[in-house]
Structure 1
Amino acid sequence: MLRKYSNHRTNSDNIKLGALTAFSAGMVNVISVCVFFAFTSNITGYYAVLPQEIAKGNWYQAAVVLLWILLFFSGSLLSNLLIIHGKSRMGQYVSHAIPVILELLCVLFVGLYLDFFYGDSLQETEFLVGALLFAMGLQNGLTASISNSVVKTTHLTGLTTDLAILVSMFTIQANRSNKALVDKFHLLLSILGAYFAGGLLSGICYVYYHNFTFYVACFVLLIIALYDFYKLARVKQLFAHRKRAFAS
């Protein structure tokens, strides 16, 4: 899921990547709304809030929103830098897994801070929302980069539009037999369903377990980071076994 890059990926690889990362994005977005009353899986709305605050002369609020946008941008930038420059030094899987680990650490930090340090101040809330936006930037940059922009899981506006286009195209018989279009439809539907399921689980968990929901999201991210680890270890083990058998 993480060890393949760009055109070497199959539709199955992209569905696994899209579904799992969309699930975690849905969880993070819903829990951030529950705790901070702020969306963190995308920044579209903040591009509307920023000029509004500037027009009102609310310079502090405008600076905070601008910082949030820059944090999302920075997360995506860092993710792509790690993928582009880390592949030759650390290997493809490791360079792809590091952004997920960094995202996990950001979400874990927010959960721990809420449990042990949070004083419910506005500045703390702004800081923690920024941390989650940075985490979502990391994820969006990773999924878009390694899938050649096929998989984007933190923002569903474009995805919903693409689904509508595909549904309209499927009114023509020939398109319903087009494997590329059908594969794309399955991918988008998987992302949409997983995002909703993650958000639903997050909402239910928050009702009963409150901030523990952040740790559940971390567990999902850990699964994403380690998903390919067993396969890689198994391949190395089989290769070593065949090498010994050939030598003997």
Structure 2
Amino acid sequence: MFALLSILYVISFLLGAFVANTAMELTSRGRAHFSYSVPISIEIMLLTFVSFFNFPGANSSVWLSCTLLLAMGLQNALVTKISGSVVRTTHLTGLFTDLGIELSQVIFYKKTNERKRLRRGILLKIIIIGGFFFGGIIGAFIYGWLGRKTLLLPVTALLIALCYDRLLLGLYRLKRRQQDHTGKPSGSSK
């Protein structure tokens, strides 16, 4: 039974990654700048659903786990795709492996530009790893207080990110229209 359950969990994560990338591929054909909106929206719906819905029956924890793993697969594929495979959001083993490799490379790489690139990569990985640990500790405390409604915190963060990105896109388009209309860059005094 444990083996079947483990396979179900892996398939749930895989399905999330598949859905995220499929949604981004289909959406990017029409409006590339909105390609991430669909997987984020699905993730928001899944987390909100889990926050308020109690799965009935003896297998409730299995369905809860599968739903959360689906959301994690969505998130990981989305961030992996957007970052060009630089950032992973749901596991630490790869981050620690990459961090160990880069720490070793700092010893051997002597060119300034290579060392700068390595230092930036090391800092990024340390920040992400710190975020995992800090988020896990804070999340555990908040979960003790709010229960599954704790998931509404990342839902709120995702909604803010979507709105912020739409606002930036709107400002970019406005600036571009001004440039097209005046024939000179926006903010130019000449």
TM-score with structure 2 length normalisation?
0.84
The corresponding residue for 2:17 is 76
CA contact 1:103–1:135 (8 Å) conserved in 2 = yes
| 1:204 Cα deviation after fit | 1.8
| 1:201 Cα deviation after fit | 2.2
Equivalent residue runs for 1:226-245 within 5 Å:
226-245=163-182
For 2:147, which of 210, 214, 232 is the aligned residue?
Answer: 210
Q: Distance in 2 between matches of 1:88 and 1:142?
A: 16
- Residues 242 and 71 of structure 1: CA distance in aligned 2, closer, same or farther (over 3 Å): same
| 1:236 Cα deviation after fit | 1.3
Deviations along 1:75-130, one digit per CA (max 9) or x if unpaired, are 101111122232112x12211221111111111110011xxx455x4311111110
- Correspondence 1:156 to 2:97: no
For 1:87, which of 21, 24, 28 is the aligned residue?
Answer: 28
Deviations along 1:10-68, one digit per CA (max 9) or x if unpaired, are xxxxxxxxxxxxxxxxxxxxxxxxxxxxxxxxxxxxxxxxxxxxxxxx3xx43333222
CA contact 2:55–2:63 (8 Å) conserved in 1 = no
Q: Distance in 1 between matches of 2:101 and 2:111?
A: 12
Q: Distance in 2 between matches of 1:66 and 1:224?
A: 33
CA contact 2:48–2:151 (8 Å) conserved in 1 = yes
Q: Unaligned 5+ residue runs, structure 2? A: 184-190
The corresponding residue for 2:47 is 107
TM-score with structure 1 length normalisation?
0.66
Q: Unaligned 5+ residue runs, structure 1? A: 1-57
| 1:173 Cα deviation after fit | 6.9
Letter in 2 for 1:104: I
- Correspondence 1:65 to 2:6: yes
Q: Distance in 1 between matches of 2:158 and 2:44?
A: 6
Q: Distance in 1 between matches of 2:4 and 2:55?
A: 22
- Residues 156 and 98 of structure 1: CA distance in aligned 2, closer, same or farther (over 3 Å): same
Q: Distance in 2 between matches of 1:211 and 1:219?
A: 14
Aligned Cα root-mean-square deviation (Å): 2.2
Q: What percentage of aligned pairs have identical amino acids?
A: 29
CA contact 1:175–1:181 (8 Å) conserved in 2 = no
Letter in 1 for 2:161: I
The corresponding residue for 1:43 is none
Letter in 1 for 2:27: G
Q: Distance in 1 between matches of 2:99 and 2:111?
A: 14
Q: Distance in 2 between matches of 1:87 and 1:176?
A: 38
CA contact 1:176–1:182 (8 Å) conserved in 2 = no
| 1:172 Cα deviation after fit | 4.3
| 1:69 Cα deviation after fit | 1.2
Equivalent residue runs for 1:35-46 within 5 Å:
none
Q: Distance in 1 between matches of 2:96 and 2:111?
A: 19
The corresponding residue for 1:46 is none
